[in-house]
Structure 1
Amino acid sequence: MKRSVAVGVGVAVVALALTIAAALGVASLLRDDAPEATRSEPTGEQAPEGLEDFYAQRVEWRDCDGGAQCGTVEVPVDYDDPDGETVELAMRKVPATGSAQSTLFVNPGGPGGSAQEFADYLSSMLGREVRERYDVVGVDPRGVGESTPLQCLDDADFGEFIALDPDPETPDEVDAVREGIVEMGEACAANSGDLAAHVSTEEVARDHDIVRAVLGEDELNWFGASYGTQLGATYADLFPEKVGRMVLDGGLDPSLDSIEQSLGQAQGFQLALESYIDDCVAKGCVLGETRQEALDTVAAFMQRLEQEPMVTESGRELTEGLAFYGVAVTLYAQQSWSYLTAAFEAALQEDDPSIFLQLADIYFDRNNQGQFISNSGQVIYAVNCLDGAPELSPEELERDVLPRFRQASPIFGGALGWGVLACADWPIESSTPQGPVTAEGAAPIVVVGTTRDPATPYAWSEALAAQLESGVLVTREGDGHTGYGMGNACVDEAIDAYLVDGTVPEDGLVCGE
């Protein structure tokens, strides 16, 4: 659940698939003897007016670590001014293990996750025949990763920002959160110039069409997870005739406004927390002997931190905000529930907050030296607020909207409600807000939804599949964020068959636990 201004839209912990995998010790299984990738040649297709030079680029691939190849593509900062400033997109290609027939473009979500890293990660999970057929390519979106970065707050200032109370209760706390959002937005504009106003989903989708053409692909084959589904669906809506085999795993519903999206996430994370607690109670849990007792313990723990943060031997504080993210990050995958249990045991029984701090660091890509490895925690604000800010005033949101959030989730509701408020304060206006998609005329698009997904509630996948003219829904019954590679053979086989030979799953396919 990446923070969309307290924690909002697109809540897919930036590259959460990667951070959770790292926490669980998942290693890359890429072959060192993968065949050398061939030189990419542009398609030579008719480019949109003014963008001819961008579509005619040639990529100079170079060898990089792990048997992959890396390259760059140049795109305009502002598509309404293609002769103006440009940015560079960094790409990573993991060559097919057989005779590559096409390219599979991938994105892990966030927004703000590194698609280059995800290319490595997903390549280790895809079925054998899929890997034989496809080069897997991850393109770090504009502003993200090794692409021209969005530069906002420095590490020290961002560290202070994320330690703020995500659910402020006093006027001073409210002012601190609101001022922090404005300061971040102003820092983005001051340090990144025009790019700060041009990192929207629509612009990233247009970037991918340039990359598609530059790599010689007539169609875009796509695997997008979480926010990567919004990016893929946006591309399909803009370029329906260019859609190849597209998988949208853990769908976002682009027809919802920012308030309804965040409210859905509050409900989703509450459901996930209750699933974790039921499992914990059944095994014997430090939180209590019943669901309600355990929920009360969690609420009391957060309230305790609100009043007085816990301090480690090194002097670092566990605030309510950091504990909030430490809980949230573990709910993305059932396999990580044991980390949450260990964190509660250490904090409640030994007065040791260190595990919660480690989990919060995983959430924000922070290392032991206090440095943020990526800018994902700030990019998410910029993208989400450009994609759509609430039309209500901050005062109206606080008065009329926050009570709905707190009712939906006593633990997560307040923070997610304040997350909506953040975009109301974001100082940079958008020229490309998001809206409903249909992708009329596109080839079949497969949407995968998980019934107890905390970050992208199942109802969103249902809605996305229904909105897309050619949408097909595959359901995974179970816990955790996204469906492919989560241990359900039915889902994996259906997606593999679709990617390998174009076999479209039956619309409404349900894969049980």
Structure 2
Amino acid sequence: MNPVRHSGRIPARALRGTVAVLSTCGLLLTACTTIGPEQASARLSPAQAPQGAADAASTSPVPPGLQRYYGQELHWKTCPDTPAFQCTTVKAPLDYAHPDAGDINLEAARKKATRTGATRIGSLLFNPGGPGESAIDYLTAAPDKFASVNAAFERLNATYDLVALDPRGVGHSTPVDCGTDTSTAATDSGASTPSTDQKIQESAAAWAEVAAACARHAGRLLPHVGTLDAARDMDLMRALLGDEQLHYIGWSYGTYLGATYAELFPSRVGRMVLDGAVDPSLNAGSHYLSQARGHQVAWEAFATDCAARSDCPVGHSVKEAGRTLDSLVARLDRTPLRQGKDITIDGQTVLITTIFLLRAPNWPTLRQVLREALAGDTTTLQESYGGQLSDSLGVQSQTAVSCLSSTLGPRYTAAQAKAHLAELKQVAPQFGKFWVQFLTWCTSWPVPANQTAHPITAPGAAPILVVGTTRDPATPYNQAQALARQLQSGRLLTWDGDGHGAYIQGSTCIQNAVDHYLLDGRLRAAGTICTDAPDTANEPVGTAPEALTPAEMHR
């Protein structure tokens, strides 16, 4: 597969590649994090304050001023390309604080429950993360691609209508369109693997170019595509589906969206699963320092496994593997491999591909990629890299959503980013200098953040199941621990494993625990740790799933 759609150097000019590593919203907290506060601290306006929204949710079935939206009738039709699903368009206010300012279109898809009557629970909303990823595309395509996903969806679909709502600004809903091919515009002047003041300045200038294009072409939409508005859209969808409570499963960024919903509408939380959790109390700078460290941990786990293999391409110790990767990246930065007329591979391409494969996790392919690259062949690397690229609109949507949150969108000057380069390299020798380019991601964004970094407690919500993976490189385990502690009704479920996310990743223990909760309302004992071995769990209290009382399920 040719991952390049324009001539030029893949890593230096394909923003789809560099930003795609953020598309799972990999935001890690480590104990050694010391990156300082954001350039500007965002505050919620009175219209956005969570407590006010929570009060409205608990005292009125329809938020004030939104009757015409909550009272609309949905017209479901067979989806053109996926006849097993029905599609519809939802009208939502562009600005929830001023509903008379105009509408925005939201697209949704559903697969009706295969059983009806008393066994039907309601609707189960999905969000695969991102931000910028289409929930509709995930729900309609994933079962055909992955047998484990198909089996899980069939179980859930017996008693739930499976529903995907593309967030505003994303996918099939009204998109953020900046009128430019962001895949080239943002990095034409940049260089790979920033490690000098000049390269950091170039990265900041590239992000500023994207910001300027978005301000020109999508300025009216930009203030209204954040997570707060997307959470309000989910409540609108819940009401239009006829459900008293929102049943929901979200991965990665989808956990941030789900937690935000719980904060805004705690009394309307039903059975909610948050897998690969984001800690909403961290500012974005800390997240990216931590994400570098998270991928370092994942790399060292891979290197340890590889070292025990006679054919390991990177050596037989973690230190040797690190030196080998560093040497390969440096060599390709000095002398990129030109694999055909329009394809050039440098060190950053190798790092991006390594990040993708650590998240999968796909260690056999990563070993093959590195083995080939060390020998001057990039066939497998190109296939892996190209398969992960986001399209231009997906990149723009991701940027627009992230920059409205001080948890997701860092706003460092080039000088501030440079000051933190040494710390990034210290916590992540192989990955630290790669991540410094993202600290200036939102510095020039034309709209200030409207959501602060703060703990989310959601008092009064039904139990929320938070799932964490011990060596998750993108949203590492201590973030799941943190979110479960913050949520007053949080319950942590742990998978001692690798890769990003746990549900539908091969652990039968995790699979059963999540399914029990979604289908039967039963939770594993607090402190449950699942191992890689199927059907095994180390539970400190009891062995059977814990039944919830009606009061717990509906508080």
**TM-score range, shorter-chain basis?**
0.7 to 0.9
Q: Give yes or no for contact 1:405–1:413 (8 Å, CA) kept in 2.
A: yes
Give the Cα–Cα distance (whole angstroms) in 2 for the partners of residues 259 and 174 of structure 1.
15
What residue is the counterpart of 1:265 in the other structure? 291
2:109 and 2:136 in contact (8 A); partners too: yes
Correspondent of 2:316 among 280, 289, 298 = 289
Q: Distance in 2 between matches of 1:108 and 1:364?
A: 16
Task: Tell me the CA shift for residue 421 of structure 1.
Answer: 2.6
Q: Which residue of 2 aligns with 1:369?
A: none
CA pair 3-258 structure 1, distance change in 2 beyond 3 A? farther
Aligned partner of 1:97 in structure 2 is 114
Give, in angstroms, the shift of residue 229 of structure 1. Answer: 0.4
CA contact (8 A) 1:287 1:294 kept: yes
**Change in 2 beyond 3 A, CA 1:391/1:92:** closer
- Give the counterpart letter for 1:489 in structure 2: T
Q: Corresponding residue for 2:491?
A: 472
Query: Partner letter of residue 505 of structure 1?
Result: R
**Counterpart in 2 of 1:357?**
382
Aligned counterpart for 2:244 among listed residues 218, 224, 227: 218
Asked whether the equivalents of residues 410 and 438 of structure 2 are also in contact (C-alpha less than 8 Å), the reply is no
- Residue identity in the other structure for 2:86: Q
Q: Does 1:209 align with 2:235?
A: yes
Q: Map 1:234-383 to 2 at 5 A.
A: 234-283=260-309, 284-334=311-361, 336-349=362-375, 351-365=376-390, 372=391, 375-383=393-401
Separation of aligned partners in 2, 1:478 and 1:162: 39
CA positional deviation for 1:166: 5.4
Q: After superposing the two structures, state which structure 1 stretch, 102-111 or 72-81, moved more.
A: 72-81
In the alignment, the residues of structure 2 paired with residue 153 and residue 412 of structure 1 have an alpha-carbon distance, to the nearest angstrom, of 32
CA-to-aligned-CA distance 1:177-211 (integer Å, 9 cap, x gap): 11110111121222223112222111111111111
8 Å contact 1:12–1:110 — kept in the other structure? Answer: no
Provide Cα deviations, 1:269-304, integer angstroms capped at 9, x if missing partner: 111111222222222212223221121111111112
For 1:83, the equivalent position in structure 2 comes to 100
Aligned pairs for 1:322-471 (under 5 A) are: 322-334=349-361, 336-349=362-375, 351-365=376-390, 372=391, 375-388=393-406, 389-390=409-410, 393-399=413-419, 401-471=420-490
Tell me how far 1:6 sits from its aligned partner: 9.3
SS in structure 2 at match of 1:124 = helix
Instruction: Pick closer, same or farther for the CA change 1:128–1:356 going to 2, 3 Å.
Output: closer
Contact persistence 2:26–2:291 (CA under 8 A): no
The percentage of counterpart residues that share the same residue type is: 37
1:341 deviates by 1.9
Q: For residue 194 of structure 2, what is the aligned residue in structure 1?
A: 168
Q: Tell me the distance in 2 between the aligned counterparts of 1:438 and 1:286.
A: 47
Contact kept, 8 Å, 2:201 with 2:414, in 1: the verdict is no
Alpha-carbon distance change, 156 to 261 in structure 1, aligned in 2, over 3 angstroms: closer
CA contact (8 A) 1:248 1:446 kept: yes
Q: Which amino acid counterpart does residue 243 of structure 1 have in structure 2?
A: V
Aligned length: 471
Letter in 2 for 1:179: A
Q: Spell out, residue by residue over 1:139-194, the C-alpha distance to the aligned partner (whole angstroms, 9 max, x if none).
A: 11111111111112633753763994453134442232111101111212222231
Please tell me whether the aligned partners of residues 8 and 262 of structure 1 are also in contact (alpha carbons under 8 angstroms): no
Pairwise CA distance, 1:76: 1.7
- Aligned residue type for 1:361: G
What's the CA shift string for 1:447-482, capped at 9, x where partnerless? 000000000010000000000000000000011111
CA apart distance, 1:73? 0.6
Q: Aligned AA for 1:49?
A: P
What is the rounded CA distance, in whole Å, between the counterparts of 2:268 and 2:529 in structure 1? 29
Contact 2:411 2:440 in 1 (8 A): no
Report the alpha carbon displacement of residue 66 of structure 1 after superposing the two structures with TM.
Answer: 4.2
Q: CA RMSD in A?
A: 2.4
Q: Provide the rounded CA distance (Å) in 2 between the counterparts of 1:458 and 1:391.
A: 25
Q: Which residue of 1 aligns with 2:139?
A: 119
User: Residue 58 of structure 1 is aligned with which of 73, 85, 89?
Assistant: 73
CA distance in 2, matches of 1:245, 1:408: 37
Question: Does the 8 Å CA contact 1:182/1:427 hold for their aligned counterparts?
Answer: no
1:7 is displaced (CA, Å) by 5.4
User: Greater shift after overlay, 423-432 or 324-333?
Assistant: 423-432
CA change 1:364–1:433 in 2 (3 A) is farther
Q: Counterpart of 2:166 in structure 1: which amino acid?
A: D
What are the Cα deviations for residues 346-388 of structure 1, in whole angstroms up to 9, with x where unaligned? 2211x223432332222223xxxxxx3x632332222222101
| Structure 1 SS opposite 2:297 | helix
Residue 41 of structure 1 is matched in structure 2 by none
Residue pair 1:311, 1:353 contacting (<8 A) in 2 also: no
Amino acid at match of 2:74: V
CA distance, structure 1, for counterparts of residue 290 and residue 202 of structure 2: 26
1:11 aligns with 2:25: yes
Equivalent residue number for residue 226 of structure 2:
200
TM-score of the superposed pair, with normalisation by structure 1: 0.86
- Other structure's SS at 1:363 match: coil
- SS of equivalent residue, structure 1 residue 88: strand
Structure 1 residues 90 and 502: CA distance shift in structure 2, 3 A = same
Higher mean displacement: 211-220 or 409-418? 409-418
2:62 to 42, 47, 61: 47
The SS at the match of 1:411 is coil
Gaps of 5+ in 1: 14-44, 366-371
The aligned residue for residue 6 of structure 2 is: none
Of 513, 516, 528, which residue of structure 2 is paired with 1:497? 516
- Give the Cα–Cα distance (whole angstroms) in 2 for the partners of residues 9 and 341 of structure 1: 23
In 2, the alpha carbon distance for the partners of 1:397 and 1:157 equals: 23
**Closer, same or farther: CA 4–356 of 1 in aligned 2, 3 Å:** closer
Deviation of the 1:85 alpha carbon? 2.8
